[in-house]
Amino acid sequence: MAKKRKKASSRKIAVAAHDAKYGDDMIEVKLRFWTNNIAEAEGKLVPKNAWAAGIVRIEQNTAHGIKPRRPEQFHTLLDIGTAIEKVLIAHGIVLHPSRKMSKYSPKKPQKPKK
4-24: per-residue pLDDT in tens? 555 544 445 555 666 666 767
User: Poorest-confidence range of 2-11, 56-65, 79-88?
Assistant: 2-11
Mean pLDDT of 63-89: 94
Which residues lie across from 61 on neighbouring strands?
66
Average model confidence (pLDDT) across the chain: 83
**What is the structure's pLDDT at 9?**
47
**What is the structure's pLDDT at 74?**
98
**What is the structure's pLDDT at 37?**
93
- Pairing mode of beta strands 72-74, 29-33: unpaired
Spatial distance between the Cα atoms of 52 and 34, rounded to a whole number of angstroms? 8
**What is the structure's pLDDT at 98?**
86
**Residue 9 main-chain phi, psi, to 5 deg:** -65, 135
pLDDT digits (tens, 9 = 90+) for 37-58: 999 999 899 999 999 999 999 9
Spatial distance between the Cα atoms of 30 and 12, rounded to a whole number of angstroms? 26
